[in-house]
Amino acid sequence: MNFLEIINKCLLELNYRPVNSFSELVKNDHKKIMTILNVINQEICCSNNWNFLLRKTTVEIPANTTEINNTINGRILYLFVQGKKYQYKDDTESFLTDKADDNSYTQFADKLLFKKSKNKRIAQIIYYTNNCVIDAQGNEKSEMTEPTDSSIIPIPFDQQLLTYGTCLRLKANPSYIRFSYWMNMYKEALANLRSTSSINAQDAPIVRLFRR
Q: Which string of b and e fits 113-139 if b means at least 16 CB within 10 Å?
A: bbbebeeebebebebbbebbbbbeeee
Sequence-ordered alpha helix ranges (H) in the chain: 3-13, 28-46, 92-96, 157-171, 179-195
Average pLDDT over residues 143-168: 96
pLDDT in tens, 82-119: 999 999 998 888 888 888 888 999 999 899 999 989 99
pLDDT in tens, 16-55: 999 999 999 999 999 999 999 999 999 999 999 999 999 9
- Transcribe 49-73 into DSSP letters: --GGGEEEEEEEE-TT-SEEE---S
Among 10, 5, 80, CA closest to 40: 10
Please tell me the distance from the alpha carbon of residue 115 to that of residue 117, in angstroms, as a whole number.
7
Q: What is the pTM assigned to this prediction? A: 0.86
Q: What percent of the chain has pLDDT over 90?
A: 80
